[in-house]
Each structure stands twice: as C-alpha cells, then as structure tokens.
Structure 1
Amino acid sequence: MTMERHPPPPISLPNVTDLSPLLLGFLDEHFSTHQDLSLNASLLSSSLSQQCSELDAQLGNLQNDVTKRAVSWISRSFLAKSALDELNRNMQNLSLRISRHGVGSKKFQKVLNEDLPRLAKELNRIESIRSYVETALQLEALVGDLEDAALFVMACRPGNLFSKRISDWSVSMDSARKHDKLLQAIKAMNDIEQVLETVVKFHSHWHSIVRSVDNRVDKILASLRPQVFSDHRALLASLGWPPKLLTSNVGNGQITCIPNPLVLMQEEKRRSYSESFIALCALQHLQRRREDRQHNFVKQKKHNMQLWAIDELVSPIASRMEHHFANWIEQPEYIFALVYKVSKDFITGVDDVLQPLIDRARLISCSAKEAWVFAMVQVLSCFLEKRIFSLLADRYKVKLMKLDAISSWLRLIDLIVAFDKQMQSLVNLDTGIFLIESEKIDGLSRGISVLTIFCNRLDWLRLWAKIEFKNAWKKLKVELKEEKMWMIDNKSTSGFDRDLDSVHRILSTVEDHRAPPIVEVFLKIVWEMTERCQTMPSIISRARFIRSTAGKFLWCFFKILLLRFKTTELHPDDPDEDAIVRICGLVNAARYIQTKLREWGDSLEFLELKIAENESSKPIEDDAMDSSSFYSEEIRSLSEMEINWLMEIIAAILRQFELVSWEYVENKDHFEQDQDDKNIVGLTQAIDLTVSTDFVEALDALKSWLRVVRINLNSKDFSDLWRSLADGLDHYISRSFATNEICFSCKGIHQFEADMQALLFVFQPFCARPQAFFPCIKEILKLLKLKKEEVKQLQAVLSNGENRARCLRPHGISHLSVNQVAQVLRNRNFASAITRG
C-alpha cells in the first residue's frame, strides 16, 4: 500500500496590514518568489544582524556618555542649589538686622556698604554660573545632534549596507536619508557657530568651553568633509565629467566646441547634483564663518570668488588641459587659447545651471561666472608659475640666454594682458549691480588675473619691472637720436599781435602746452608700463611695479631734461634766440608732464595706490605740495625745474634790458631840461614829446624777446613770465630814477611819462591795464606831478618820523619806501616857477 504524498504546508506570513509601506516595498523587492527566499534569506539575515549589533554598540556608547555627563551636571546642580540656599539665609538675616537695628544704625550702614555689594557680587556670580550652565547644555545638545548626524553620513555608504543585488530604489532611499542627515549636520554646526559667536562677543573669558566645542567640531569636520567631497566627485564622474577636450586645428590655434555635461543632465541626476552642490556651498559658508570667528577677522563686504563646488568642476578638467599645456611650452599662445575656449564654452551652462543653486544656498554676492572664470585663471596661473616663469627666470641669469629670456618674458606678458582682458570680459558686471559703490570702484573682476603670480613672488616682480624698464629705455633712446623730436610746433600760433580776447581764446578749453614731440612719446611709454599691471589684484604689488618702472623712467627723463638745459648756453649779457627757444621747449615739457601726472594722480586708481603706500610707510608731510598725489615727488621736482628755467629766461631778458637802457638811465639831460613859459598842466596839453631815442632800443629789444618767448612758451608759463618781467622792470626803473639824483623839470616829467607809456605799450597785448603791473613807476609819476605846496606838506609830514609810512597811504603811495619817496620829492625841480613868480 503506497502512501499518498501531500504538498508541504504553506509558509505562515504575517498579516499584510500590519506592515509599513516601506517594509512592504523592501520585501517585494527582495522576496518576489519562493526561490528568492531560499537563496537570499540567510545572506540578508546575517547582514541585518551585523548592522543591528553595530547600532546596538553605538547606542550603548551613547547611553554611557549621556550617563557620565548627566552625573557631571547633577553635581554642578547641587553646588548651585547650595549657593542659592546660602543666599536665601543671608537675605533672611539681612531682613532681621534691618528690622532690629533701624535704618540709621551703624550695623545697617555696614550692611549697606559691605554686605549688599558682596551680595550683588554673589548674585552676579550665580547668574554667570547659570548662564554658563545653560550655554554648556545647549552646546552639548547641539554637538550631540551633530555627532549623530555625522556618524550616520559616514557609516551610510551605498552598496555596502547590502549585497550587490540591492536595487537602485534602495540605494536612492539610502542616498536621500544620507543627504538629509548631512543637512542636519550642517544645520547643527551653524547653530553651534551662532552660539559660539555670542559667547565670544559677550563672554570672551569662557575660553575653555569654546576650545572644547571647537576641538570636537574640528574632529567631526576632519572626517565629514572628505566624505562629502568624495561623494561629490563620484557623482561628477557618473555625469561624465570632465568632458573630453577635442583639439582639432591646433596648429591654427582653434579648438572645436566642447559638450557640457551640466546641460545634458537628466532629471534624476540633476536633482542629485543640485543637492550635492548646495551641500558643498553650505559647508563652505560654514567654514568661512568659523574662520572669521576663530581668527577674529573683520568680515569683508567684498565677496570671495572661490567656490568649492566650482573648484571640483575645474580640478578634473585642469588635469586634462595640462596634458596639452606640456606640449605647448614654447608656443604659449595655444595655452591661452585653450583656457579661454574652455572657459567660454562652459560659462553659459555654468551660469544657467549653477547660479540658481548658489541663490538657493543663499550665498550673497557670489557669482557662478566669476567663480568659474577665477578657477580657470588659477589653473593657468599655477602652470605658468611652475613650468614657464621659473624656466625664464633661470634663463635670465645665463648671459648667453638673457636676450632670449627677455624676449620670451615680454611676449608672455603681452599674452597675459590680452588674456586677462578676455577673461574679465566673460564676467558680466550686472552680477554686481546690488553691491555697494566701494566694491564697484575696485572692480568685481580685479582678482581674475594671471598677474596674481607676481603678488607672491617679489623676486619675479622685481625682475619683470627691470625687464620692462630696459625695454622702455630702449624705445626712448631711438627717439632721442632725432633732434626734430625736441622742436616746438608753432603752426597753431597766430602771431605776436593776436588779441587775447579773441573768440578763439574765449571758446578754447584745452591749454596749448606746446610741448616737443619727445614728451608725447615719453608719456605714452610711461602709460603703457602703468597699464601693464592694472589687473594685478594686490595694490601694494601694483604700486611697487609702477615705482620700479614708470616712476624710475620719469626720473631718468628728468635727468635728460637737466642735461639738455646744462648744454644750452644762455649768456645774460647777450642771450641767444636759439637758446631761449630751447629752454622754452624744456619748460613746456616740464609743464605738460606735470599736467599729465596730476591728471593721472586724480584718478581713483592712483588714489588707491597712494593710500596703500601711506599705510605701509610713513606719511608725507602735511605741507608738502601735491602730497595726495601718487606722483607728488615727481611733480615737485618738475615744478622746481620749471621755475628755475623761467627765472633764467627772465634774468637774461632783464640783464639785456639793463645793458641796453644804461645810457638812458644815466643821461640826466632828458629830465632836467626846463621850459620858461609853461607849467606842468600846460606841458601835458601843449607839448607832444616822443620817446627818448636811447630808450627806443631797449624797448625794441624787450619787445623782440617777448615775441620769441610768447611764440615758443606755453600760455600759462608765459603769463607768469611777463608778469614777473614787468615786476622786475618796475623795480629796476623806479630804483634807478629814485637814486640817481635826477632833478626832474616840468619837461623832464613829461618825457619820463611818455617813455613809461611806451614801456606799458609793450605789455598792452597781454592785458587791458598793464599799468597795474608797474605800481612803483605809477607812484613816482604821481609824486612828480604834485604841486609845490603839496610837496612841502608831504615833506613836512615825513620829517616828523612818526608813522611816516601810514601818512603816505592817503596819497596813494604803498609800494615805494619812505626813503624812496623822500628822494623823489627832493629831486623835484620848481626853479622856473619861482623865477616867474
């Protein structure tokens, strides 16, 4: 009899309604059939058991830690309770003493003066303890939350929790939980930082608690940060980053367009990348906040262009670019072309994809474009510093390779200057429209420059300045060989008799400096050297470079001007017209260079340089001229040269006038001849005397020299020159006629007036009232025209010896001395009038 086979009893499963949706999904995923149950149950069970044991161990450690800390805080609580009980007893004793002894007793005064201050001090101490305990408990809770979240992030690694057969759904769920825990950890660190900032601000003596918390947070960050970066890099690799650099037509410096994986991301990948990007930004913001607090930095309003998440994009692509850089060391223009092409191709995608993420991360004033371009420039700067500039610096030290090194250096700087402008053009300044004005002044893209290399290498900065200076001097020497470069162009001058009130003068707004062409060439070279370093981020480095190049070049040109003046022979006894013209050219050059240096110095760029120099060295004296200008010393030196050369011209003309007019001044017959039948008024009305013959030659020479100077000298200096010349002539003539013992007759007075009118006529083209610039001659004529009674009255006043100078003022005499007035009055001849009387 055969036994009947029965099927095995069905597996008893729990009620489906008792399970959570998450657990149901997990079971459906791994145990869809009976065969899956037999194959995977043991493996899954062992894995879950291992994880549970690890979690139980961690939980036990946390429980022990909490117990120890609770005991510690309980002991502190007992101490606080004892202190409060003691305070309560003291208060009761105080109340009894006051009621027993009264307000005015000595014991009450002792309580008021001793016990109450001690009590207040005790209350403050207790309040401080209470605040300390509350802060410590708050920090302990926050650090605990941080440690829990960080431990989960570091322990939760997709693919390690389960076997390889675990589905993408499970991995995605674990990744989401990991990201949530990471955000919790970052939030806990931000909360901790907020509490510590308050502690540092209001309780700076709580060093222990701050140091203890910082040490614990630093340990957590040291483990958490590498994990976050590793996960972010793995995510980038899964996106296909970095892309391949397709370099066709390299010989022509052209690179084909590069696809941007950031733009090609699918929805799920885009979400994962966005979360990772924001987490990195938040972690970086936290790091900067902690550094500001730990180093007691004053928070800068200007934002930092460097972003970790952008650097993670640039780092892998930089390693691929450097492979091509190594092949183009002798052709650096291809290196610059590749970096610019990659930067340009990706910048639109970077801005469209990453800028919204930065905004979501609430990183104020951070620009994805700027961070991207800044990182790319840093890649190029590092390569140039390590592989090219170091090589050129070594070659410069070798005599046979020096010229080649200089040529390559200058060529490389040309490429850098052009590249910086290209890269800065990629950054739209519209990202900074909400920034304060002081940030706009410095320029948002100031730090985007390869010239950053020289900010940290002062030896290379000095070498670059030396090369630039030698190259500039080489250019100038070629121009100095041409004498025509020193010639003044007088085509724009309409002539000596040009009316100063003409329409041309009234409408003119640009001063005609009449500087020789060599000055324009020189200033162009100076400005080119100045512009070479404009994108250098460090103000101090820019100032050093400009001082070593443009500043040094200015002083060399000043020496050329001085040498040219010394080789110009200007004899006071017989001045040469060519010599006068040559000195006028030097004066014009000095004046024009001053004008340009002041114009440059007024710009914000040079004001920054001056302020930086003053902060790094001792300030200039307050009374120094142009002390606020970057080129104050150069302007001061030019002004001195200009004044000295003008004085040389004035002295030569005055000396020549004195020699030619010597006979006129010494010939007393012109002024001592008398007239029998005319008084002074009659002479003035009836006699038409001409200019003295021996004075005509002096006036003609004066007019000739003024014409030469006016044609060749700039208008500003010519205006100063003729005024100084008039002042010198006024003193010379007044002194000569006041001290030569000339007895002026009526006719002599009229002749002297006619001669002086001729002198004023020489200066008539320069102003409407030239007599205003000859005050001494004007006053001599006024004294000579006084009547006899007025002369006697004035002589009587002067003979008193008291306040003689003040007595002259009512008569309009303020420029002549008392002795000169007395001499003129003594020399007045009234002999003919006495005879007729």
Structure 2
Amino acid sequence: MSTPPSASLRGFLDAHFASPDDLAAAPALAELLRRECAELDASLRRLEAQLRIAAASWLARSTGARSDLRHIRPTGGAVDAEDEGAETVRKLGLPALVREIQRIDTIRLYAEATLQLEALVGNLEDVVFSIVRQASKLNLPSILRKSNEAELKHAKLLNAVNAVRDIERELVRVSTSRPKWTSLVMAVDSRVEKTLAILRPQALTDYRALLAALGWPPSLSSQDTENDKYSQIPNPLVLMNEENKEKYSQSFLALCALQHVQANREVRPCQIAAATPALADSKYFDKTACLENGLWAIDELVHPVASRMEYHFAKWSEQPEFIFTLVYKITKDFMDGVDDILQPLIDHARLAGLSAKESWVTGMVKMLVGYLERQIFPALVTSNQDQTTDAKPEVESSWMHLNDLMISFDKRMQLLADSGIQKIASLSEGLSRSLSVFSIYIEHPDWLQIWAGVELSSAQDKLKSEMEDETSWSCSDSQHDQLGHMENSIKFLLSTREDYKAPPVSEFVVKTALSMIERGRALPNRGMQIHYNRSSAVKFLNDFFLVLCDRCEAMQLSNTALEDQSLSKASCAINAARYCENVLREWDEDTAFLDMGPQGSLFTDEISFLVKLGANYLEQILSAILLEFEDLSWEYVQNIGSWRGQTAVEDQILDEENAGVSLGFIASLDVLTDRITKLKQYLNSKDFLDLWRSIAEGLDYFIYSSIRWGEVNFSDTGVIQLRVDTKALLHIFRPFCSRPEAFFPFLSESLRLLTMKKSDAHYLLEMLTDDTRSNSCLKHQGLHNVNAGQAVKILRSRKFGG
C-alpha cells in the first residue's frame, strides 16, 4: 500500500491544478521545478565546498597546535637534549600559541555565523522569489474571490516578514557580541535591502489592488445641489461585508508587519549604540521610526483620494481657501470610518501609542503639503522675487493670506487628530511635525526667509503710518496728571502702558511684534521659530528702538537752555523704551520663549540696548538740569558767605521765620521747580524716582563744592540766610520724600556745623586737630559724609558775634 502524499504537497498541487484547464501548464511548471532544484543543488554544493575548505584549514591549524602542545613540559621536569630547542620555543612562543588558538576559534565562530545568516537570507530570497513569481497569476477579479492562491501569497508574505525578523535578531546578536564583524553585517544588509526593494513594491501593489476591488477611493463629487453643500461621502471601508473585511484586515496587518520590520532595520544602529540590554530590546525606537513617516497602509488610502482632489485644486489656484476647506472636509468625512475599522487593526498589530485618526490626518496633511510645494508656493516665490512687478504688495498680501489659511487649517486638523487615542508624550514632537502644513518650510528655508520678510515689510508699513500721527507719540495722561504728587510717586509696580506713561505707538509696536511671534509658533520646530522671529519680529523691534534713539538724539538735551518740548519728547522716548523693556522681559519668562536664544533669551541684546538707551538719556536730562541750575545760580553760589550786610550789630534780632530767599537764588529755584514738575508729569514713576534723587545729590555736591570754605566768614545772619535758602531748595523735593535732607548730606551737615554753639564749635575744632579721635568725634556728632578736613574748614568759616 503506497504512502499518501503530504499536506504541503497536496496544497502545492491544489494551488497549481485547481481545474482541468491548469494541466496545460504542467510542462512549464515541471521545467520551473527542475530549474529550482538545479539551483538548490548548486547552492548546496557551494556550501559543502566552503565547509570542506574551512574544515581543512581548521584541521591544519589544529595539527600544528597539537604538535606544539606535545613539547610543553611540567615545571621542573627533565628535558632531553633534543627537546632543548623545544623548551625555548615553549617559553617564548606560548602567548603566541594562545593567540593563535583564539584566532582559530574566532574563525570557527565567524564561519558558523556566516552559514547561519546565509541560510536565513536564502530562505528570505526564496520566499520573495516565490511571491513575485505568483504575483502575475492574480488579477483584479480574483482579489476578492476566495482562492487558495491569494491565501498562499498572504502566508508567504508573513513568512518573509518572519524571515527578516530572524535575520535582524541574528544581526543584533552579531553586532553586539562581535562589533568588528562589520563587513559581514554590511554584506547581509545589502542582500536584505535588495530583497526588500522587491518585496515592498509587490506588497503595496497587492494592497492597492485590494483597495480598488473594494471601491476605494469613492467619488468626491457628491454635491447636494439643493442645499449647495457637500453631503456625507460614503466610505467603502465601512460598507465592506465580513468576507471582504477579513481579506482587508489580513492585507492591512501584513503591510504593517512589513513596515515594522523595515523600521526595526532602520533603528538597529541606535539600538546597538545604546549599548544597554534594555535599549537593545526596546520598542521605543521602532514606534518612533514608524510614526515619523506614517503608516504605509493609511498612506495608500490617501494617494488615490489625493489624485481625485487635485482635479478640483487646479480650479482654485487663486482661491486657496477652497483647497483647505475641501481637504478638511474629506478628512473629517472619513474620520469615523477610519477610526472604527483601522484602529482595532493597529491595536492588533501592537503599534502602541499610534492613532488611526492621527495617521489619517497626517497622511492628508502630507498630501496637501506636496501639492502646495509643487503648485502654489513656486508661483508666489517667482512673483515675489520679481523686483519689477507693480503687484508686489498684492503678492505679499497673498502670501500672508496663504499663511493665515495654513495656521487655521493646522489648528483644525490638530483638533481632528487629537480626538483619537491618547498619544505617547515622548512622541508628541515628532507627531506635531508630521501634522503641520508648515513642515513645507523645513525643506525650503529660503521660503521661510521670504515669509519673514513679507511679515516684516507689512509691519513696517503699518508702523510708518502709525508714527506719522503725532498723537501716537503723545505721553499726556489726564488721569495721571490729576493725581497728587505723593499719591502718584509711590506707584512703582508698573505693568501697563499707562503705568509707564509710554506713547500709544509703543503699544502698537509690541502688539504687532507679538502677532508676528504668535504666527511663527505654527512652525514645527524651535530652530525654524528662532530663525523666523529673528528675521521678522526681532528686526521689527530693533528698527523701532533705533527710531527712539534718533528722536532723543535730535533733541540736543545737553544745551543749557532746556526746552519744555525737548523734555517732553525725551521723556516719552524713555517711557517707551522702559515699557518695551518690561514687555520683553515678561516674554523671556514665558515658557514659549525659553531656550530660543544662545543665552536662553531671544531678546538679550534688545533688552541691553533699551537699558542703555534709558540710562543714557536720563543722564543727559540730569546733566542738562544741573547745567541749567548752575548757569542761573552761579553768581549766587559764588557769593555765599559774603553777602552784603552780614556784619550785624550785636543786639540785632535774627528772625529766620520772616527771612526771604536770596534774590539771586529765586530764578534758579523757579526754573528747577518747573523742570521737576514737568518731569513728574512726563516721566514714569520709577525713572522719576531715580532722576530726582540724582538731581538732589548733584545739587548738593554743586552748592557745597562751590562755597569757598575757609575763605569766607559766616556771621549769624549769613548762617540764617543759608538755612532759609536751603529750606527753599528742600521744599521742591518734599512732595516726593518726607526727609529730603537725606539727599543733601553735605549741605545738611555743613549747616549742622555752622549752627553749633560757639563753645561746642571750639571744642569740636580742638578735637578734630587730634588725628586719632577725629573720625569718632564726627560720628558722635552724627556726621557721616564730611571728613575731618572738611569739617575743620567749615568750622573755621564760622564768625561768631561779640
């Protein structure tokens, strides 16, 4: 009784002889089998020959090693005369012998690894060859027909995927344990890549044929003429019966598996470089590689839809908003079907963290980016680069309109994508790059530069129009003017433009720059955002800051005749600089701006410029006021201590309450009061606080240093007059401080010395002549600013009556 044929043989015969008509192909099949057997026999003979050569080489080296080992003697053993040379060889050549044995073992391991990989790669090549040979027998009607050939081909595709996985595991083992065997790894990779280059197109072709048989893509021209809007487009994936759904599921999973092993091959260098067992078996790299390029199975859903959509796109080249609307509508219409049908398949494929909705949205976005890159942007770039065109403002407007549409489209598509499963947080950056239409600028940085230039040009035109209106530079604020001096001076927590008394144009500049920055946040990576911001918003701010500098330079604040208009305009420019500085510092503290510059700040240079600008022109205002005061009070100051009529009769009653301010001092006090009042009105409270204190300190030093101490003689009347004049000076600053004397230390301490009793003055003068106790005496009297020499001169300038 004969043995029945095996199951595999029966399956093979059933696949090739399904009907009597297939018997005609028997001679061709027999010839094909003979050729395959001949090739396999030849391959086997080659392997046997290689094995014999390797074995002979190993035996030859083993015999030599065995001969050398016979000459090894135990330590202290007798050595025959004929073995004396061998003993020397033993002592000198034993390390080399060990190295030789290790090299032989390495060769053996290399041969074993080579044979193992040869068998695995050969298995892969055989399976792929079988798939390609069988592909010509399947046609479109047979795709959905239940046939053993289709099932067999699907099984062969899975076998090929498993073969690639086996090869990858062996390559990881070889690369980890023998990192120097790079030639072997490269040779295997080369053969596998050539095989996959044949397998992938075939797998995609079969998948496309299946989609076409299912009726994909559907017609997009299902317009509801009554309502003048598009109705819901039927989704063939949802309308599949159970049998077709099973076929599609198998094809989808097989294609995902093929992409998965391809991704593993791409990230294998990263796994090897990690050099840790945890990372060597990690799926983290695998999923990242898959997600960056999208799923092939979903991309193949997008391509035929895109070809039909582009027919409509061609009619809307001048109305891109229709293009974005159509893409969004098609994406949304198929969203639920994609999620219901494909998400369970993705979960079954164990692609953790991958959303079918997000992959579908990503594919549609990539499709739109490709169309914009081919058809829309080149025309805009050409028109923008044409310097002779009169329609350049219209081109710039079109560019900005297109980017506005892209920003809005990105937000809407992101909402669609985020409605899927929860994404892995570590992968969100890569996903956002794929989901952004602005990824078009990654491959075209020159287009990004053009966009930044368009934004800058538009902002500059708006700023020019704004600056031509003088009311934009007005710093007057009735609310602030109505506040009392003391109430307004204590407000130092400034935040708004009104707090800084900055002109409206500064707020316009800040809002315009922020608008540009907000638009740039749509760019998919930080490097592009930095480049865009520096070429648009930062440059726009710098241009305005130079305008502030020019306005201050044109005022000539150093003139002794300080005009009220110059003071007002300079104060406005300083307020604008301070307000902009505060805004830039707030932006730098925002997480959205972190690490955008080399020192962690995008506006480091700009803030430094504003700080320097404000400080420089505050110094100029200070210098102008002090020079003006000095010019008006010079004659008075030179005559302090030698006023006419100081020598009074002994019985004259000194009445300080009724004494008036010196006539030569009144004009300078009036002008100083006017300047301080105007600065209080024009300047922001923080800078005004610093400025009036600096003015007070400057006046104190000027008046004190101008008195010829030691040369003049202060009588009782002279001291009273100096006290009256000093009180008048302090009265100007009293609204801003309860003790303005603290900011006039030299005048205050000079008056304290001049008003001492005669006995106290003589005693202190004697004490100051003793160098060892001079400093302690001054501190005991509460004098901390004048030194001993200055105190002596002041005391000697006092003339006591009688």
Shorter-chain TM-score bucket reads 0.7 to 0.9
* SS of residue paired to 1:763: helix
Contact 2:485 2:736 (8 Å CA) reproduced: no
Check whether the contact 1:228–1:280 (CA below 8 A) recurs between aligned residues. yes
- CA distance in 1: counterparts of 2:299 and 2:220, whole angstroms: 18
Post-superposition offset of 1:166? 12
Q: Distance in 1 between matches of 2:182 and 2:588?
A: 49
The question of 1:152 aligning with 2:152 is answered no
Partner residue, 2:368: 380
Residue 265 of structure 1 aligns to a residue in which SS?
A: coil
Deviation at 1:287, TM superposition (A): 2.5
Match of 2:575 in 1: 588
Change (3 A) 1:567 1:26: closer
User: 2:336 aligns to what?
Assistant: 348
**Counterpart of 1:692 in structure 2: which amino acid?**
V
Structure 1: runs of 5 or more not aligned: 1-13, 615-626
Aligned to 1:55: 33
1:184-333 correspondence runs (5 A)? 184-246=159-221, 248=223, 254-293=229-268, 303-304=291-292, 306-333=294-321
Matched, 1:175 2:156: no
Contact 1:248-1:255 at 8 Å conserved across structures: yes
Deviation at 1:543, TM superposition (A): 2.8
Select between 304-313 and 137-146 the one with higher mean Cα deviation: 137-146
Q: Select 2:453's aligned residue among 466, 472, 487.
A: 466
1:654 to 609, 626, 636: 626
Q: Which moved more, 1:810-819 or 1:576-585?
A: 810-819
CA distance in structure 2 between the partners assigned to 1:605 and 1:56 by the alignment:
69
Q: Deviations over 1:633-677 (max 9, x none)?
A: 222222222222212221222223323433442233478957898
Report the Cα offset of residue 583 of structure 1: 1.2
Distance 1:514 1:394, change over 3 A: same
- Quick one: distance in 1 between partners of 2:737 and 2:42? 102
Aligned to 1:621: none
Q: 1:185 to 1:18 in 2, by over 3 A?
A: closer
User: How far apart, in 2, do the equivalents of 1:730 and 1:817 lie?
Assistant: 16
Task: Label 1:479 to 1:49 Cα distance change in 2 as closer, same or farther (>3 A).
Answer: same
Cα-to-partner distance string for 1:363-383 (whole Å, 9 max, x where unaligned): 344332232222212222222
Distance 1:278 1:20 in 2: 30
| Structure 2 equivalent of residue 623 of structure 1 | none
**Contact 1:689–1:751 under 8 Å retained in 2:** no
Q: Deviations over 1:497-520 (max 9, x none)?
A: 344599x95998768122111112
Counterpart of 1:335 (choices 308, 323, 338) is 323
Q: Which moved more, 1:252-261 or 1:142-151?
A: 252-261
How far is the alpha carbon of 1:629 from its aligned partner? 1.8
The aligned residue for residue 640 of structure 1 is 612
Counterpart amino acid of residue 642 in structure 1: G
Find 2:763's aligned residue among 783, 789, 792: 789
Per-residue CA distance 1:434-488 (angstroms, 9 max, x = gap)? 414xx65x58424423333333234433333333322222222222221111112
Give runs of aligned pairs for residues 30-69 of structure 1, distance below 5 A.
41=20, 43-48=21-26, 50-69=28-47
From 510, 516, 531, the equivalent of 2:503 is 516
Tell me the matched-pair count.
775
Q: Which amino acid aligns with 2:577?
A: A
Which of 672, 681, 688 aligns to 1:718? It is 688
Contact 1:689 1:754 in 2 (8 A): no
1:369 aligns with 2:347: no
User: 2 CA distance for matches of 1:751 and 1:112?
Assistant: 117
Instruction: In structure 2, give the amino acid aligned to 1:519.
Output: S
- TM-score using structure 2 length: 0.84
In structure 2, relative to structure 1, the CA distance for the partners of 1:793 and 1:54 (3 Å cut) is same
Q: Does 1:140 align with 2:118?
A: yes
Could you tell me how far apart the structure 2 residues matched to 1:28 and 1:68 are?
33
| Counterpart-to-counterpart distance in 1, 2:237 and 2:69 | 72
Q: Deviations over 1:753-773 (max 9, x none)?
A: 555455444434434554444
Residues 538 and 663 of structure 1: CA distance in aligned 2, closer, same or farther (over 3 Å): same
- Looking at structure 1, the residues matched to 219 and 784 of structure 2 have their Cα atoms a distance apart, in angstroms, of 91
Partner of 1:129 in structure 2? 107
Identify if the C-alpha distance between structure 1 residues 737 and 184 changes in structure 2 by more than 3 Å, giving closer, same or farther. Answer: farther
Q: 1:307 to 1:771 in 2, by over 3 A?
A: farther
The 10-residue stretch of structure 1 (205-214 or 731-740) with the greater mean CA deviation from structure 2: 731-740
SS in 2 for 1:515: coil
Aligned to 1:453: 440
Deviates more, 1:322-331 or 1:59-68: 59-68
Amino acid at match of 1:666: Q
Partner AA of 1:186 in structure 2: V
Query: Using the alignment, how far apart are the partners of 1:559 and 1:129 within structure 2?
Result: 74
**Which secondary structure does the structure 2 equivalent of 1:797 belong to?**
coil
Whether the 8 Å contact between 2:530 and 2:596 is mirrored in structure 1 is yes
Distance 2:567 2:526 in 1: 44
Contact (CA 8 Å) 2:662, 2:721: kept in 1 or not?
Answer: no
Task: Answer yes or no: is the 8 Å Cα contact 1:487–1:516 preserved in 2.
Answer: yes
Q: Match for residue 394 of structure 1?
A: 382
The CA distance in 2 between the partners of 1:567 and 1:501, in whole Å, is 30
Give the equivalent residue in structure 2 for 1:484: 471
1:131-176 superposed Cα distances (whole Å, 9 cap, x missing partner): 4234323322322332233233323348459x9999944x1x3333
Note the residue ranges of structure 2 that are not aligned, 5 or more in a row: 275-284
Is contact 1:730–1:776 with CA below 8 Å preserved after alignment? yes
- Kindly indicate whether the alpha-carbon contact (under 8 Å) linking 2:646 and 2:718 is maintained by their aligned counterparts in 1: yes
Give 1:737's match in structure 2, choosing from 690, 707, 720.
Answer: 707
Question: Equivalent residue for 2:54?
Answer: 76
Instruction: Note if contact 2:356-2:420 (Cα within 8 Å) is conserved in structure 1.
Output: no
Q: 1: distance between equivalents of 2:778 and 2:609?
A: 42
Inter-partner Cα distance in structure 1 for 2:764 and 2:94: 95
Change in 2 beyond 3 A, CA 1:233/1:816: farther
CA distance in 2, matches of 1:167, 1:569: 89
Which one-letter code corresponds to 1:145 in the other structure?
N
Report the CA distance between 1:526 and its aligned residue: 1.9
d(CA) in 1 for partners of 2:782 and 2:123? 96
Report if the CA contact (8 A) 1:543-1:609 is conserved: yes
Alpha carbons 2:571, 2:679 under 8 Å: kept: yes
